[in-house]
Amino acid sequence: MPKLKTRSGAKKRFQVKKTGKVKFGKAFGKHLFTHAKSQKLKRDHRGTGHLKDMDGKKVVKEMFPYGAN
């Protein structure tokens, strides 16, 4: 049986941690200073976040055929 391929897009966007949580980069963080954004929005979209447990399970199951890394 042939090997299954990991989805390339998922590989670039998600990282599965040892605990099983899925880490992702937050959206809308680029070009923060090109137009008016509130200070709260800039703060909230900084850095990375973790997916909810149910969404994390879906990502791992569908995008990473052999599990975490």
23-48 per-position pLDDT tens digit: 999 987 777 667 777 888 888 888 99
- Entry pTM: 0.76
Residue 17 scores a pLDDT above 80: yes
- Report domain extents, the chain: 8-63
B/e letters for 42-69, b = 16+ CB within 10 Å, e = fewer, are eeebeeeeebeeeebeebbeebbeeeee
Distance CA 27, CA 46 (A): 9
Q: Edge-to-edge strand order for the sheet containing 48-50?
A: 14-16, 22-25, 48-50
| Segment (H or E) for 50 | strand 48-50
CATH fold for the domain made of 8-63: Factor Xa Inhibitor (4.10.410)
Q: Which of 2-6, 7-11, 35-39 has the lowest mean pLDDT?
A: 35-39
Provide the CB-side half-sphere exposure for 5 (13 A, CA): 3
**Percent share of the chain, pLDDT over 90:** 29
